[in-house]
Structure 1
Amino acid sequence: MQHIINFVTDRVGSLRRDLAVLTVIFGTAFFQFLGKFPLMEPDEGRYSEIPREMLERGDFVTPMLNYVKYFEKPPLHYWLNALSMKLFGENEFATRFPGALCGLLTVLFTYYAARKLFGRREGVMAALILGSATGFLVQGRINLTDMTLTFCMTATIGCFLLATRPEEPCKGRFYYLFYFFSALAFLAKGLIGFVLPGGIIFLYLLFSKRWVLLKEMRLFTGMILLLLVAVPWPLLASLRNPEFFNFFFIHEHFTRFLTKVHGRYQPLWFFVPILLLTMLPWSFFVPHALVRTWRERKNQGGDQVLYIIIWALFIFLFFSKSNSKLIPYILPVFPPLAMLVGLLFSKVFDGEALPRKTGILLAAVLCIVGCGAIAYPFVDTRPYASVAGGAALGIAFIGEGLLAFVFARRGDSQRFFITLTVGGLLLSLVAPHAVFPAMSLKKASSRELCRMVRTVAGPDTAVVSVGYEQGFPFYAGRRVIIAGGMGELEFGAKIGDQSAWFMEHEKLPELWESGRHIVALIKPNDLEWLQTKIKTPVRVLGKDSRKLLVTNR
């Protein structure tokens, strides 16, 4: 225990050693058993199939999903996934590797930035807080575009802050990195790669009155670098696809933000409980950290703290105002909040009082959550965790809560901090084994059934997905016919003649009786309906807990 405490509390230590230790700790947490479970529907199937098709077609400009144009996201995450597949093969590990790597790099950059700004101890604590926030680790292990954005956004906003330090000897380098990563953030998620850093920097200059920074920002050469990185892809995409500009820039940015067209509307306060849950156990200390650092914004070095506060609040409020909300959108808020909470605990280590009431409340909540995790498999008829998995999670939560309670009552801030860090990491190690097997029964792609298509279907076989399962083309390695709704493929399905690949659910019996060899992935209730409409018997090739693979021969 003392070695751990020394690692956290020491003011002096090697940068390389710290990076190595943090890489081992969080590399294990992010990458352990990364390829063990099937792709989760719908996001992982989508973000695995698009880069697979890029590799197959040799076209890295026009993203396509099930072989129709798909312009909802920029291509950086697809490019990273395609590169990963080229290195590791077309498998789950390869598709999740880039997101996990971006999660790890975000932790390491947060350490580096906090160390340069405040000191070695604050850097280590910020990294440990960010990396042990269970929601951050869990989402980093899922194939999503949001963790790629989070790393690019953290590097963008962090590099600008590092460049503004009066004593910084590498100002030019950090300013150019700021422009470079801003361009990458655009390629990761669109215009917010410019909007969020721009808004944060404007508010910082406004409140700090450091307008002089505009003269040292390398605006001319920096903008050239930004444009050289950001512009080629949308320019090429527009030249090759006349419909790209309106859909990508207007529909997917302004319409998504200002309207409820995407069906993802949530109330203004939606991200408050989301942040509370996903940043456990550290979220309980965010209000203390914000209040404390706001009071010290006029002290020496206060401009840096003011910048971090604006960084966190602007992104949080921006996504809260949006009419399109999903849980991962909140990820870019984690790094600045981790820095602020790290500053709070560093001061506590120096003698300030530990917020005992908050610590005791947190301990109670952890124990209650633990009891709920144990009871959950018995309450839900189709739980996302097995009985053993719920018990494992529950014991981890309760153990963390009891130790946190003891150390909070004693005012032992060092052991309290270590308990929360180790507890968060332990939960990240337990959660995949506790939750994913049961979740696979409800949310995962029908991996083994889809893979069977490679052996049972010939080149002329009509492979049908009754209701679109996005992992189906990835595992089958080919295009599939969609029967029963286009979903988010509607835009691409209307470009060119796609009539052979999309059909109404009611047309399935006609295709089945056409004499063509059919292989279909279908739900049991849809199969019962189909059997009442056809004469050609159904042969079941395989089944899992949710679906069946059937053929008419």
Structure 2
Amino acid sequence: MKKTVVFIFLSIAVLLVSLRMDYFSDRLQGESLAVLAQFLSIVGDGITLTGVCVFLLVFGIVFKKGHIRNSGAYGISVIIAASFFVHLFKITFERPRPDFGNTDILFFLKNPFIFDFSGKFNSFPSGHTTVSFALAYALSRSYPRLSPLFYAIAAMVGFSRIYLGSHYPSDVAGAALLGLGVSMFLFSETRKKHWQTWLFISLAIFISFFKLGSLLLFDVDEAVFSEATREMVGTGDYITPTYNYEPRYDKPILFYWLMSLAFKLFGITEFSARFTSAMFGTALATATFFFVKKLYGQRPAILAGLCLLLNLEFFVYSHSAVTDMTLAFFITAALYSFYLGYQMSSESGVLSSELNNKWYLLFWVFAGLAALTKGVIGILFPAAIIFIYLAASRELSKVKLLLAPRFLLIFSAIAFHWYIAQFYINGWEFFNAFIIKHHFQRYTEVISSHSGPIYFYVPVILAGFFPWAAFLPNAIYRGFKGKGIYLFGAIWFLAIFIFFSISRTKLPNYIMPLFPAMAIITGLAINDFLENGLKKIWLYISCIFLMVVSLALAIASLFALTQAKLEIAFPPVFFWGTGISFLAIALFGFAMINEKHRLVSIGGMAAATIALLIFVRTYGGPPVNLYLQKTLYQYSVYAGKNLLEDGALATYNINQPSIVFYSRRKIFKLDGESGLRELAAMKNSKSLIVITRKENIQELEEKFSLTLLNTDGKYAMLANTR
């Protein structure tokens, strides 16, 4: 375990250094050693290395050299395993090779693909380097004296990929670590025990990062957070976030800091804007897996982890440049920490010990980070859930352990320092905007027209937690009848659900922090179903829900393919892929009735859900993104490139923050009569571009003699003649 932790931290350090080297990769390229580099690339090709291993295997068999035979067999095994993970991560990260690094994002949107057969957009990780280091480790086990030679050849293969311009340094560094990691695992004594764990973590990375950077930022929230972070990096002001170079008090600072770090590492791109959410999505799924594994073992952990990973809500918000996944992680980590400390004190009978105090300390650390991510709910939710749980368990006396002065001091140091600094700098303006508007008014009034009925989150959960929502009623029922984590999870779920159902302002992302609770109690319910079965009423509810909903969605997909006239042009493969995935879920739901097929049915539903998410993201996301964002993106880039430095970019009667992000300049937001007066004063003093809705064209042309540059979809771009 210690070796694994050390390897992980060293890997992170190496990757961070290599990312900085990416900016200088062109200096590592050349022509003088091109022939040698091409030869080394041939040596490191998977086919070449497989041929070497096959030769060793055959030679060992023919001449009865067991040592050589085993070396060949082990080599083939590590090459196959390494190649699997190489292609998994190539599909996931979809990084353009250096020669195509400036490819416009519209290329990906107009040409969606799962597998890149052209080889232009699969830079990370380097396949040559991965298999070379994987084989170097395997052969070094058999021939330790030759290990320097094996690793030297692998390193030269990696360098040749950079020298030829086929990969960035970070592609090669990541590949070397991946190859070593895969090979080390295959040779470890615990591989049979831990292979499911590492496979789950790989799935978590795949789901959270899959095609993360190949969609334009969506308006409004993604673009606002990304632009505010871009301005933070540009101005160097890491205390007061700004949007359009004016203070933005909507959210606390931590998420901006994390996004700033990603921008520093990867550059200002869509991938780096969403990196923080994907990272915490992976961390949340992994933490949930290990939490349940510690309490109940491997299979319940896998089931709970799959319930959390494989649903639309998790997928969307692990791919969104918004705070919700980060907040969900910190709230969840705080609650996991409390429960582990509580369980240890309950099992030992000792109220306070060094070990459970460490867990309680972690509770306050994570709660402080949650409060620094989204304000008071970062501590309100964990505190309320714990209080209700201890009251229901008749152990309220244990609250005192959490309220030790040193814990409160640590929480205050983490959570309050930025608030104090912000109030000192911006005073009551900050207090009124952040505390009054975005806490009290957002809960008691409708903000930005985001209202909804009290049952708003019921369909959100049914759709967002599909297909596992079929088991949720039974899971909640079991939760309130049970004790321990069952009761804890049910209270966690219900507390957040009721809180936001009462709130006047409603959005689907608000309930993201209850998804880990749903995943745990649902995963445990499914595990109990596999082991002991269900009462017929619960079995029929689950099966009927899966069959009816999935069949309806499958029919809707196929109907839309042949009959519906949609405003958004989805490709046929989207309807076929989603329709077949829904149909598969329906069939597996029906198969669950038979006791012999239940485990296969759950596994089949998980596989079908993975396929569904892949088709939705690959072939559904781009048409929607093009429909909503393409025109604004093109207008913004045009304005940013063609306006003079003292020119003005304005919007009229629209609120689309992506214009600020993609134009890389401050805009003048003009609305109503006051906006028209400002526009009249502006049009004769400087070069001007106005982006607005199509219905405003005639008004702007007639009143201000603006020239129509382009109109496309819902939007139009006009300019004066200066």
CA deviations on 1:439-474 (whole Å, 9 max, x unpaired) are: 123432622321222320121001112223201111
Return the alpha-carbon distance in structure 1 between the equivalents of residues 615 and 513 of structure 2. Answer: 25
Letter of the 1:547 counterpart = Y
Counterpart of 2:516 in structure 1: which amino acid?
P
Q: Name which of 489, 508, 522 aligns with 2:692.
A: 522
Whichever residue aligns with residue 281 of structure 2, its letter is G
Cα displacement (A) at 1:521: 2.1
Q: CA deviation at 1:275?
A: 0.6
Query: What residue number does 2:718 align with?
Result: 550
Once the two structures are superposed, residues 511-551 of structure 1 have per-residue CA deviations (whole angstroms, 9 ceiling, x without a partner) of 4641411122233322232112234x5152x5543434433
Looking at structure 1, the residues matched to 574 and 233 of structure 2 have their Cα atoms a distance apart, in angstroms, of 38
TM-score for the superposition, normalised by structure 1: 0.88
Distance 1:147 1:484, change over 3 A: same
Whole-angstrom CA distance in 2 between matches of 1:163 and 1:214: 12
The answer for the alignment partner of 2:527 in structure 1 is 346
Aligned residues: 518
Q: Please give the secondary structure, in 1, of the residue aligned with 2:649.
A: strand
Q: How much has 1:119 moved relative to structure 2? A: 1.9
Distance 1:216 1:15, change over 3 A: farther
2:281 maps to 103
Name the structure 1 match of 2:254. 76
Match of 1:244 among 430, 435, 439: 430
CA distance in 2, matches of 1:200, 1:481: 45
CA deviations 1:47-76 (Å, max 9, x no partner) are 111111111111111111111111111122
Q: How much has 1:218 moved relative to structure 2?
A: 5.9
Contact 1:196/1:315 (CA < 8 Å) preserved in 2?
yes
| Structure 1 or 2: more helix by fraction | 2
Name the amino acid aligned to 1:525: E
Q: Which residue of 2 aligns with 1:402?
A: 587
Query: 1:356 touches 1:411 (CA, 8 Å); kept in 2?
Result: no
What do the CA deviations read for 1:285-322 (whole angstroms, capped 9, x no partner)?
A: 11111212333x2xxxx233222211111111111111
**Are the equivalent residues in 2 in contact too, given 1:393–1:434 (CA < 8 A)?**
no
Residues 385, 78 of structure 1: alpha-carbon distance in 2 compared, 3 angstrom cutoff: farther
Structure 1 match to 2:618: 433
> Where do 4+ consecutive residues of structure 1 move more than 6 Å?
12-15
Using CA pairs below 8 Å that are at least 6 residues apart, which structure has the higher relative contact order? 1
Give 1:87 deviation, angstroms.
Answer: 0.8
SS at match of 2:469: helix
Structure 2 residue identity aligned to 1:479: K
Q: Quote the residue 2:516 is aligned against.
A: 335
Question: What is the aligned partner in structure 2 of residue 21 from structure 1?
Answer: 199
Deviations 1:78-97 (A, max 9, x none): 21111111111111111111
1:231 and 2:400 correspond: no
**CA shift digits 1:172-220 (9 cap, x unpaired):** 2211111011011111111011111111111111111123423433621
Match in the other structure for 2:676: 506
Q: Is the 8 A contact 1:450 1:476 kept in 2?
A: yes
Equivalent-residue separation in structure 2 for 1:293 and 1:206 (angstroms): 15
Call closer, same or farther: CA 1:366–1:68 in 2, change over 3 Å.
Answer: same
1:169-184 aligned at under 5 Å gives the runs: 170-184=355-369
| CA deviation vs aligned residue, 1:330-363 (integer Å, no higher than 9, x gap) | 1111111111111112112223248541224312
Q: Are 1:450 and 2:636 an aligned pair? A: yes
Residue 386 of structure 1: CA displacement? Answer: 4.4
Q: Check the 8 A contact 1:111/1:124 in 2, yes or no.
A: yes
Alpha carbons 1:463, 1:518 under 8 Å: kept: yes
1:475 paired residue among 655, 658, 662? 662
Secondary structure at 1:464 match in 2: strand
* Contact 1:364/1:405 (<8 A) preserved: no
Q: Which moved more, 1:125-134 or 1:476-485?
A: 476-485
Contact 1:512 1:552 in 2 (8 A): no
Aligned pair partner of 1:311 in 487, 492, 495? 492
Quote the sequence identity (%): 27
- Structure 2 distance, partners of 1:549, 1:343, is 55
Mark the CA change 1:107 to 1:14 in structure 2 (over 3 Å): closer, same or farther: farther
* CA deviation after TM superposition for structure 1 residue 105, in Å: 1.1
The aligned amino acid for 1:477 is R
Aligned to 1:148: 326
Rounded to whole Å, the distance in 1 between the matches of 2:381 and 2:403 is 19
Q: What CA distance in whole angstroms lies between the structure 2 residues aligned with 1:407 and 1:69?
A: 55
1:272 aligns with 2:441: no
Output the TM-score relative to the length of structure 2.
Answer: 0.68
In structure 2, the partner of 1:359 is 543
Is 519-528 or 91-100 further displaced after alignment? 519-528
Query: Residues 285 and 308 of structure 2 are in contact (CA less than 8 Å); yes or no, is this contact kept in structure 1?
Result: yes
Query: Partner residue of 2:98?
Result: none
Aligned match of 1:43 = 221
CA deviation map 1:383-416 (0-9, x unaligned): 4844442332222212222233234346521011
**Greater CA deviation, 46-55 or 395-404?**
395-404
Q: Residue 650 of structure 2 aligns to a residue in which SS?
A: strand
> Does the alignment pair 1:538 with 2:703?
no
> What is aligned with 1:423?
608
Deviation of the 1:13 alpha carbon? 8.5
- Cα distance in structure 1, aligned partners of 2:247 and 2:392: 44
Equivalent position of 2:181 in the other structure: none
State the match for 1:6 in structure 2: none
The CA distance in 2 between the partners of 1:468 and 1:15, in whole Å, is 54
Correspondence for 1:32:
210
Cα distance in structure 2, aligned partners of 1:75 and 1:139: 19
What RMSD over aligned residues (CA atoms) do the two structures have, in Å? 2.3
- The answer to whether the 8 Å contact 1:39/1:92 transfers is yes
**Higher Rg of the two aligned structures:** 2
Residue correspondence of structure 1 range 353-392 to structure 2 within 5 A: 353=534, 355-357=538-540, 358-376=542-560, 378-379=563-564, 381-383=566-568, 385-392=570-577
Q: Residue 587 of structure 2 aligns to a residue in which SS?
A: helix
Q: Alpha-carbon deviations, 1:458-493, whole Å to 9, x = none?
A: 2100111222320111111110111226xxxxxxxx
Q: Which moved more, 1:285-294 or 1:48-57?
A: 285-294
Which residue matches 1:222? Answer: 407
Q: Distance in 2 between matches of 1:424 and 1:438?
A: 21
- Determine the structure 2 residue equivalent to 1:254: 440
Query: Would you say the 8 A contact 1:132–1:421 is kept in 2?
Result: yes
Whole-angstrom distance in 2 between the partners of 1:385 and 1:287: 34
Point out the more displaced range, 458-467 or 166-175.
Answer: 166-175
